[in-house]
Amino acid sequence: MSGEAFRCLNGGIEYELRCDGCGGAFHCHDDSFYSWDLLCAAAEAEGWRVEPDFEGEHECGACMARATFKHHRHRFAASRAA
Instruction: Kindly indicate which of the ranges 28-36, 43-51, 56-64, 71-79 contains the residues binding Zn ion, using the contact rule CB under 5 A.
Output: 56-64
Rounded Cα distance between 48 and 44, Å, is 5
Name the residue nearer to Zn ion (CB basis): 36 or 43. 43
Q: Which H or E element spans position 50?
A: strand 49-50
Amino acid at 41: A
Indicate the residue among 28 and 63 with the shorter CB distance to Zn ion: 63
Q: How far is the CB of 26 from Zn ion (least distance, A)?
A: 9
Residue 8: CB minimum distance to Zn ion, A: 25
DSSP 32: G
